[in-house]
Structure 1
Amino acid sequence: MKLWLKIYLFSLLLLVFTLNISGVILIQKLHNDLLEKEVEKSLSEEKFVSSQLRINSLYMQKIHSDTDYDIDTLISTFMDEYNNSTNGESTQHGNIEILDYQDKVIYSDMKFPDSNEKEELSDLSLGKISYIIRTLEGKQYLYVSGLVNVNNSQIKIHYAKDISNVYVQKMNQYTLFMKLDILICFIFAVFMFFISRLITKPINTLIESTQKISLGQYSERVRIKSKDEFNVLSNNFNMMAQTIEDKINELEMSNIEKETFINNLTHELKTPLTSIIGYANLIRTSKYNEKLFFESADYIYKEGKRLEKMAFKMMDLIYTKTQKIKLIPEKIIPIIYEVKKSLLVKLGDKNINLIVKGEDCILDVDKDLISMALCNLVENAIKASENNSEIYLNVSVLNDKTFISVKDFGSGIAKEHLDKIWQPFYVVDKARSRKSNGAGIGLSICKKIAVIHNAEIKINSELGKGTEVTIIFNNHTEAIGN
C-alpha cells in the first residue's frame, strides 16, 4: 500500500473514530444534563407538595385542636387549591397520586399508563424521596415518591411526569449528528485525498531520482522547494548522490588509468621487443662470431633491463604525481644516440636514415621517460615516412630554452586533426595504424612526459609534406662546449 493511501485512510479512520466518540459523549452529556434538570424539577415539585400538605395539616390541627378532622377532605381541598394555583398547567407539573400507608388511593389525577410494578413506593421513610424512570407504551415517565406525616398518619405522595421529550430530543440530536457526521467525513475525505497526495509528492520525487541513479544517471539531483524536513532530506540525498557520483568517477578514473597503463605499457614494449627479437634472430641465423654474439647478447640484456625499468616508469607515470618523478641532470645527445640504436631495426626495415644534429647540453630530466618520448616520436616519423627517406632529430638552445625536434618528410597531418592527436587512442589514418599495429596512444604519452618535465610540446604539419614535433624545455640548461 502506498504511503499517501496509508496517510489518507489512517486520517479518515481517525476522524471517523474521534468524531463519533466525541459526538456520542457530547449528546449523552446533554441528555444527562437535561434529564437531571427534569429529575430536579420533579423532586422539587414532590418536596413542594409534601411541605405544603404538611403545613396545611398543621394549620388544620391548630384550627381543629379539640376535634379530629377528615384527612380525605384535607387532601381533596389541598389538591383543589394546588391545581388552581397552576392555572390549568397540570401537565407541566405532572400528575399526583396520594395514598395511605397501605397503598390505598386517597387522591389521584394520574393520567399516565399504570404499572403493576411500584417498587418506588416500598421502603419509604420520612424525609426520604425515591424516583424511578419507566418506559411504558413507548414513552418515558418519571415517578417520584415520598412519605409525609399528616395528622399523625403517614401519607405517600406519588408524583409522575412525562419526560419523553428528553429522549425525543436525544434521538433528534443523534439524527442531526449522523447527518453532520456524514457531511464532515465526506468533505474531509475529498480534501484529505489531495492533501495526502501533496504531502507525499516530495517522496515520489525522491523515488524517481533514486530510480534514475540506480540506472546509472549519477548526476541526477532532487529539487524540492520547501521549508520542512523534506528540504533537509533532499539536501542530504543530494549530498549522498554527489558522494556516490564522486566515488563512481573515482573508480572509473582508476579503471581508465589501469587500462591506460596496460595500453601504454603494451605500446612501449614494442620497440625494445623489436630490438630484442631482431638481435635474437641475428644470433640465430648468423654463423658463430664471438664479437657479434657478445654484442647481440649484451644488447638483448640491456633491452631486457630497459623493459623492466620501463614497466616501473610507466607505472609511475600513471599512478604517481608529477612532483614525485625525480629529475636529474643528463646529457641529451647520448640519450638520443641510445634511442637511435634501439630503433636501428625499424629504420633498417624501411632504409631510413636518422640524422642527429645540434649541440649537446645538460637538462634536468628522467632519462628513461625522455628516451620513451623520443622513441615514440621517431617511431611515428618512421611510420609516416616512405622508404629510402630521411628523419632529422635536432637539438638547439635559444633564449635559455632547449628545443628537441623530430622532423620527417612523410605523409603529414591535416589541420583538422592537429588539436585531437594528443588524445589517447585518437588515430588520424586508421588503415595505416592497423597496418603498422598503431593504437594511437604514443603522442598522448609524449604529452604527459612533457608535462612531467615542465616542458611544452608542439607540432607543425602539412599534409603531404611532413611533420615536425618539438619538445621545448623551460628548465635550466647548460651547454657543453666542443
Structure 2
Amino acid sequence: MKFRYKVTLCMISMIAFIFGIGGTFLLYSSFQSSINREKISAIKSFDMVIHTFSLLSQETTWTTASEISKDFGKIVEQNDLFVAISLHKDKELIYKSSDFVNDMEEMCDKADYRNVAYKIIRSENQYYIQLCSVIKVENADLYIDALYDITKVYEQREELQKLYIAVFLFVVTSSAVFSYILSYFLTKPISRLKKIVSSITQGNYDLRSDIHTNDEIEELSVEFDRMTDTLVDKMEELNAAVDRQNQFIANFTHELKTPMTSMIGYADLLRRQNLSQEEQTDAANYIYSESKRLERLSIKLLELIAAGNKEQELTIQNPAYLIENVVKHYVPYFQENGIEIEKKCEAGNCMLEPDLFVSLVVNLLENARRAMENGGVIKIVLSMKKDGCDLLIQDTGCGIPKDKLVHITEAFYRIDKARSRSFGGAGLGMSLCDRIAKIHNGSLSIESEVGVGTVVKVQIRGGRI
C-alpha cells in the first residue's frame, strides 16, 4: 500500500473516531437530558394528582368503590397530561381512564407512601414513563398508576441520529478527499525521489532529486544526492582503476612478448643452423641481455607490488647517510659515462623505510643517467623539515616534453620506448618512486624542460623524532 493511502486512512480513521465518539456522546447527553426533563415533568404532574386526591380523601367519606372511582375520575379529567391513569384497591381495578391501562406493568411492589416509583416502558412503537404510588384512604391502600407519553423524545433522538449519520458521512467523505489531496502533496517529493532512485538504478547517474521542502524530506534529498555523488565518484575511481589494471596487464604482456619473441628466435637459430663463432656469441649475448632485462622487470614489478600491498614500518633513519652509501657505489660507474654527481645533504634523522628510500634514490639516479647519453651533471639536495625531509635530484639531460609529464608516473610508461629499452628501462621506475613517496605520506613532483634538464622533488613526511 502506498504511503499516501496510509496517511489518508490514518486521517480518516482518526477523524471518524473523534467525530464518532464526540457525536455519540453529544447524542447520548442530549437524549438523557430530555428524558430527565420529561421524568421531572411527569413526577410533578403525578404528585399533583396524588396530592389533590389525598386532600379530597380527608374531606370526603366514601362507602363504595364506585364513589371513589367517580371522584378520582373528576380529578383525572382536570389533568390531561397522562395517557392513562388507573386506581387499584387491594389489586382490584376500580378506575381506568383509557384502555392504555392494559399496557401498564405491575409496579405495586415497588411503590411506597413517600416516593413515586417509575420506569420507562415500550408498547409497540410508543414509549411511556409509568409512575406508581400508594396512598392510604380509610385504612385501605389505594395504588395509583399513570402513563406519561415520551414518544416524542425518542422520535427526536431518531431524527438526530439520522442527521448525525448524514453529517458523519459528509465529514468522513470530505476528510477523505481533503486527506488524500493533502497526503498527495506531502508525499509528492517522496514520489519524485522514488523516480530518481529508479532512474539511477537503471544507469542514469546524472539525475539528482533537488527537492526543496524545508523539512526532513529535503534533508533526506540532500543526503541522497550526496550519497549519489559519492557513489558516482567511487564508480569512476573503480572504472579508472580497472582501466589502469587492464592497461597494466596489456603493457606487461607486451613487455614480456617482445623479448621472449626475440629470445625464442635466436634460440631457434642456434638450434637449427650452423653459425659462426661470432654469430653464436652475438645470439647468446642478446639472449643474455634480454634475460637480464626480464629479470630486472620482474624485480621492479615485485618491488612495486610490495610497496603497494605491504604495510611498511617506518623507523628512525639518517637519509643523508643512506644517500651517501648509494652515491659512493654509483660514482665510478657514472664517471665512466661522463656524469658528475654534486650533492648537498643536510644532516638529521627522520622516519623512513630504509630499503624503499634507497630504491627511490637509485631509481631517480638511474632515470637521470638514462637522460644524459653524452654526460652531464646530477645534483642531489637533501633538506630536513620539521615533519620529514625533502629530496631534490636535478639532471642536465634531454628533458621531458610537457605533454608527457602527466603520464610519467604511470606503470610501463616510457617517453622514448626504443631508447628506454636499449638502456634496460621498463617504465616502472617513476611509478615505484611515486608509490614510495605516498607510503611516506609525501608526494613526488617533476619539472622539466626539453634540452635543459629535469628536476624531481620528493617530499618525505613520515615524521621526525
State the TM-score bracket (shorter-chain normalisation). Answer: 0.5 to 0.7
Q: Pick from 88, 105, 117: which aligns with 1:129?
A: 117
The answer to which of 145-154 and 242-251 deviates more is 242-251
1:402 aligns with 2:394: yes
Q: Pick from 430, 454, 457: which aligns with 1:471?
A: 454
1:114 aligns with 2:100: yes
Residue of structure 1 in register with 2:388 after alignment: none
The answer to which of 180-189 and 301-310 deviates more is 301-310
Give the superposition deviation at 1:151: 1.9
Structure 2: gaps (5+ residues): 345-357, 382-392, 438-443, 459-465
Letter of the 1:174 partner, please give it: Q
Does the C-alpha gap of structure 1 residues 323 and 249 become closer, same or farther in structure 2, counting only changes over 3 Å? farther
Contact kept in structure 2, 1:224 and 1:231, CA below 8 Å:
yes
Residue of structure 2 in register with 1:312 after alignment: 302
Does the C-alpha gap of structure 1 residues 25 and 36 become closer, same or farther in structure 2, counting only changes over 3 Å? same
1:158 aligns with 2:145: yes
The answer to which of 249-258 and 169-178 deviates more is 249-258
Q: Pick from 181, 187, 212: which aligns with 1:200?
A: 187
Give the superposition deviation at 1:57: 1.9
Contact kept in structure 1, 2:394 and 2:453, CA below 8 Å:
no
Aligned length: 407
Residue of structure 2 in register with 1:384 after alignment: none
Does the C-alpha gap of structure 1 residues 321 and 121 become closer, same or farther in structure 2, counting only changes over 3 Å? closer
CA distance in 2, matches of 1:39, 1:315: 103
Letter of the 1:38 partner, please give it: E
Contact kept in structure 2, 1:359 and 1:395, CA below 8 Å:
yes
1:184 aligns with 2:171: yes
SS of residue in 1 equivalent to 2:26:
helix
Residue of structure 2 in register with 1:299 after alignment: 289
Residue of structure 1 in register with 2:389 after alignment: none
Contact kept in structure 1, 2:343 and 2:379, CA below 8 Å:
no
* Cα deviations by residue, 1:26-80 (Å, 9 ceiling, x for unpaired): 323422332233234323433442244234323446xxxxxx6666556655664
CA distance in 2, matches of 1:471, 1:268: 26
* Cα deviations by residue, 1:296-326 (Å, 9 ceiling, x for unpaired): 56535533422321322443576689999x9
CA distance in 2, matches of 1:366, 1:93: 121
CA distance in 1, matches of 2:212, 2:301: 54
1:167 aligns with 2:148: no
Does the C-alpha gap of structure 1 residues 367 and 244 become closer, same or farther in structure 2, counting only changes over 3 Å? same
1:98 aligns with 2:87: yes
Residue of structure 2 in register with 1:35 after alignment: 35
Identity among equivalent positions (%) equals 21
CA distance in 2, matches of 1:443, 1:205: 54
Structure 1: gaps (5+ residues): 62-67, 85-89, 338-355, 379-390, 428-432, 461-467, 476-482
Give the superposition deviation at 1:173: 0.6
Contact kept in structure 1, 2:398 and 2:452, CA below 8 Å:
yes
The answer to which of 186-195 and 127-136 deviates more is 127-136
Letter of the 2:245 partner, please give it: K
Give the superposition deviation at 1:191: 1.1
CA distance in 2, matches of 1:228, 1:263: 52
SS of residue in 1 equivalent to 2:100:
coil
Contact kept in structure 1, 2:65 and 2:94, CA below 8 Å:
no
Give the superposition deviation at 1:12: 2.4
Give the superposition deviation at 1:188: 0.8
CA distance in 2, matches of 1:332, 1:249: 46
Residue of structure 1 in register with 2:347 after alignment: none
CA distance in 1, matches of 2:175, 2:312: 69
Does the C-alpha gap of structure 1 residues 278 and 134 become closer, same or farther in structure 2, counting only changes over 3 Å? closer
Residue of structure 1 in register with 2:2 after alignment: 2
Q: Normalised by the size of structure 1, how large is the TM-score? A: 0.63
Letter of the 2:105 partner, please give it: E
CA distance in 2, matches of 1:370, 1:273: 28
CA distance in 1, matches of 2:103, 2:195: 76
Across the aligned residues of Structure 1 and Structure 2, the Cα RMSD in angstroms comes to: 5.1
CA distance in 2, matches of 1:228, 1:99: 80
Contact kept in structure 2, 1:99 and 1:106, CA below 8 Å:
yes
Does the C-alpha gap of structure 1 residues 300 and 135 become closer, same or farther in structure 2, counting only changes over 3 Å? same
Residue of structure 2 in register with 1:54 after alignment: 54
* Cα deviations by residue, 1:87-134 (Å, 9 ceiling, x for unpaired): xxx4446553334435434363x4xx6364433366565446344423
Does the C-alpha gap of structure 1 residues 252 and 168 become closer, same or farther in structure 2, counting only changes over 3 Å? same
Give the superposition deviation at 1:204: 2.3
SS of residue in 2 equivalent to 1:98:
strand
Residue of structure 1 in register with 2:249 after alignment: 262
CA distance in 2, matches of 1:264, 1:132: 106
CA distance in 1, matches of 2:267, 2:432: 30
Q: Normalised by the size of structure 2, how large is the TM-score? A: 0.65
SS of residue in 2 equivalent to 1:188:
helix
Give the superposition deviation at 1:174: 1.4
